[in-house]
Structure 1
Amino acid sequence: MSDDRAARIGLALRLAERAGVLSKHYFEDGTLSVQTKRDGTPVTEADREIEQTMRDAVAAHFPHDGFVGEEFPDDDGDSGYTWIVDPIDGTKSFVRGVPLYANLIALQEGDEIVFGIINMPSAGIVVHAERGKGCFRNGAPVRVSDRTTLDGAYVMATWLEDWEPEVVGDLRTQGVTVRTWGDAFGYAMVACGFADAVVDYTTQPYDLAPMPVIIEEAGGRFSSLDGRRVFNGGNGIASNGLIHEALRTYVTAPLAGHQDRRGVRL
């Protein structure tokens, strides 16, 4: 690993910790102000403060890096590194007092995500991975599950409004248990081996940027629903790798006639 990458990963770890402190403070304070953005999704002062804090720190330490976030316009860079962040993934959970929200940070070097972190401060869970170094939960190495069939598999979903009813029914006939309240929590559970897969039909790049390195370093597979190894394809599926193609066949079956998925993940 280059010194340049190591320095950036060190900063990413510190920023995740800082984001956790800020978001947990707002989460527990009880006076959170919620606004609605033009796309109808909620945003809070916590989202904006956390992202601005990250942007300021990156600009101070690595002024030529790019930065992509949810709340402010993208910053182009020419260093070869880009930071991709979601200050609070799961804002709807956050504003309702559900502790399964997360702070997401990914570091992209060239075209490759080389570091990713899911920080869930109110749940006490931090999952992070560096390319070639493994995946860790709260400092201990983790691996995906070893389930080889859909029968008995646990599949996470951020929300079922995006799922065609026949998909859930078909999976149930295969012995699959579908559980909701996914967001980043679902990907963390797959990386740690507690769930076997997670499916998202509607995403933004900052929702999924940390997931390729986290899932792959835990021994699993991440792709878009059409099978590409991309995090910016508008959707995503992560699994232990062993059931990936079998599950993908079921969850993509209705897409041929429904190309325009509606909804925005928060």
Structure 2
Amino acid sequence: MISLVDAAVLTKEWALNVGKMQKEKLKKESFKIDTKSTLTDLVTEIDLLSEDMIRAKIEKYYPEHNIMGEESDYSDKNSKYTWVIDPLDGTNNYASSYPIYCVSIALKYESEVVMGVIYIPELDEIYSAIKGKGAYKSGTVINISQKTALNSALVATGFPYDKKDSKIDNLAPFNKILKEIRGIRRSGSAAFDLVAVAGGRIDAFWEFKLKEWDYAAGELLVKEAGGEVYQTELEDEPLFIAGSRELAAELREIIESIYL
């Protein structure tokens, strides 16, 4: 087993350096932007540069480990360890100079996430968790909120890139949940939403069609902060819910009542 404490220290350093680069590049506003799966699924040259920077560090310090990144092919070295990278979560925000975006890096041992780091460059907040060791914001322990009822909860969500053509566009759950809660937020970054849940700024979160790199680090942070994560498939599409046990159960009941 590698030292997860040492891995977390290195990962935080990598995330800080990548985030600093992203902030500097954003000020210049001259980067290249392309599309991927749809016209709303963007990738910038900064996404690619960010992932290259993180991959280079992993390959230097942990050359035998697998790497799964959003912007490049899976690097399978038949290791029990896999790094899961979302180098710039919130690309649509970043491309419009909207200051909500994150660097998200997680480490899995076999099928379980054992370490995760998320950095929010514009807030200069770094979040970290090691399995069984709690969740931290810039070195201070964080916990989820104590809300247990949706009618007093601030809830976050997002919409899939293929919402124009997909059977699952999140509109039906959105319309139903909106009437049951205190307020709704849509940041455009699942990593941002998950650290907001972990730190108690947001009480709960749900979203369809997330990829593993979107939630790997954030899932561990929520769990280590005392929260619960629920994952299932509805209409053959993945659903992710995070929050307190009570709020996650309420959200699950509402959403599943629509599709089951």
TM-score by length of 2: 0.88
Structure 1 unmatched ranges of 5 or more: 228-232, 257-266
Q: Which residue of 2 aligns with 1:264?
A: none
Equivalent runs, 1:145-184 vs 2, <5 Å: 145-159=145-159, 162-165=169-172, 167-183=173-189, 184=191
Confirm or deny: 8 A CA contact 1:225 1:237 kept in the other structure. Answer: no
Q: Which residue of 2 aligns with 1:120?
A: 120
Q: Which residue of 2 aligns with 1:135?
A: 135
Confirm or deny: 8 A CA contact 2:204 2:241 kept in the other structure. Answer: yes
Confirm or deny: 8 A CA contact 1:70 1:85 kept in the other structure. Answer: yes
Q: Which residue of 1 aligns with 2:19?
A: 20
d(CA) in 1 for partners of 2:47, 2:23 = 12
Structure 2 residue 212 is matched with structure 1 residue 212: no
Structure 2 residue 106 is matched with structure 1 residue 106: yes
Structure 2 residue 239 is matched with structure 1 residue 235: yes
The change in CA–CA distance for 1:152 and 1:63 in structure 2 (over 3 A counts) is same
Amino acid in the other structure paired with 1:237: I
CA drift at 1:225: 4.0
Equivalent position SS for 1:151 = helix
TM-superposition CA deviations, 1:228-261 (whole Å, max 9, x none): xxxxx833111122311111111233234xxxxx
Structure 2 residue 222 is matched with structure 1 residue 249: no
d(CA) in 2 for partners of 1:38, 1:194 = 32
d(CA) in 2 for partners of 1:48, 1:169 = 36
d(CA) in 2 for partners of 1:248, 1:38 = 28
Structure 2 unmatched ranges of 5 or more: 164-168
Confirm or deny: 8 A CA contact 2:230 2:240 kept in the other structure. Answer: yes
CA drift at 1:176: 4.1
TM-superposition CA deviations, 1:33-62 (whole Å, max 9, x none): 211225442111111111111111111221
d(CA) in 1 for partners of 2:68, 2:204 = 27
CA drift at 1:136: 1.1
Confirm or deny: 8 A CA contact 2:128 2:137 kept in the other structure. Answer: yes
Aligned length: 249
d(CA) in 2 for partners of 1:251, 1:27 = 37
Confirm or deny: 8 A CA contact 2:93 2:188 kept in the other structure. Answer: no
Equivalent position SS for 2:150 = coil
Runs of 4 or more consecutive aligned structure 1 residues displaced over 3 Å after TM superposition: none
CA drift at 1:182: 4.4
d(CA) in 1 for partners of 2:178, 2:158 = 17
Confirm or deny: 8 A CA contact 1:197 1:237 kept in the other structure. Answer: yes
CA drift at 1:214: 0.4
Equivalent position SS for 2:86 = strand
Give me the identity figure in percent. 27
TM-superposition CA deviations, 1:149-184 (whole Å, max 9, x none): 11111110123853233x334324434422212422
CA drift at 1:226: 5.0
d(CA) in 2 for partners of 1:235, 1:19 = 29
Superposition CA RMSD, Å: 2.0
Confirm or deny: 8 A CA contact 2:12 2:126 kept in the other structure. Answer: no
Q: Which residue of 2 aligns with 1:185?
A: 192
Equivalent runs, 1:46-57 vs 2, <5 Å: 46-57=46-57
Equivalent position SS for 2:118 = strand
Match of 2:203 among 196, 202, 210: 196
Equivalent position SS for 1:242 = helix
